[in-house]
Amino acid sequence: MPHDDMGTHIPTTAIDYIAIEESPDFIAHKRRHRSFVFPLAVAFLLWYFAYVLLADYAHEFMSTKVIGNINIGLILGLSQFVTTFAITTWYVSFANRKLDPAAEKFRAQLEEAERA
């Protein structure tokens, strides 16, 4: 890719990326991606910090025994593992079903445009 004197990329292709970026299809694709990952990222971070603050400042609550020697702290800690695995699986299934087909369609169009 060519650069100007400060080393910044200069657009090379004839493809009008601004037009693509502003097309309704692409806006929908971008919204589909962001409206999934952003809320989920906020949710897991809030859940993680809620757990951290409980473990840090609510020792008595976390030390409450539930089953045998297993206390609330251990259950909440292990449920962090469970939610991490669950979010991973959920995101992958979403990405495979919703994001990949759309990305593939755009890629085919762009490659077509580049050849033209």
Partner 1 sequence: MTVGDPILNISIFAAFVVVTLVIVIRASRTNKTANDFYAAGRSFSGGQNGTAIAGDYLSAASFLGICGAIAVNGYDGFLYSIGFLVAWLVALLLVAELLRNTGKFTMADVLSFRLKERPVRLAAATATLAVCFFYLLAQMAGAGGLVSLLLGVNDRVGQSVVIAVVGVIMIAYVLIGGMKGTTWVQIIKAVLLIAGAGVMTIWVLALNGFNLSALLGEAVAVAGEDILNPGAQYGATGTSRLDFVSLALALVLGTAGLPHVLMRFYTVPTAKEARRSVVWAIWLIGLFYLFTLVLGYGAAYLVGKDTILAAPGGVNSAAPLLAFELGGSILLGIISAVAFATILAVVAGLTITAATSFAHDVYANVIKKGAVPPNGEVKVARITVVVIGLLAIVGGIGVQGQNIAFLVALAFAIAASANLPTILYSLFWRKFTTRGALWSMYGGLASALILIIFSPVISGAETSMFPTADFAWFPLNNPGIVSIPLGFLLGWLGTVTSSVKEDPRIAAEMEVRSLTGHGAEKASSH
Q: Which residues bind partner 1 (CB under 8 A)?
A: 3, 6-9, 11, 15, 17-18, 20-21, 26, 29-30, 33-34, 37, 40-41, 44-45, 48-49, 51-53, 55-57, 59, 62-63, 67-71, 73-74, 77, 80-81, 84-85, 87-88, 91-92, 95, 100, 103, 106-107, 110-111
The three-class DSSP label of residue 66 is strand
As measured in angstroms, the least distance from the Cβ of 24 to partner 1 is 14
**18 or 116: CB nearest partner 1:** 18
Q: What angle do CA 49, 84, 67 make, to 5 degrees?
A: 80
Question: Residue 97 is encoded by which pair of tokens?
Answer: 């079903």
With residue 70 as reference, give the H or E element that holds it: strand 70-71
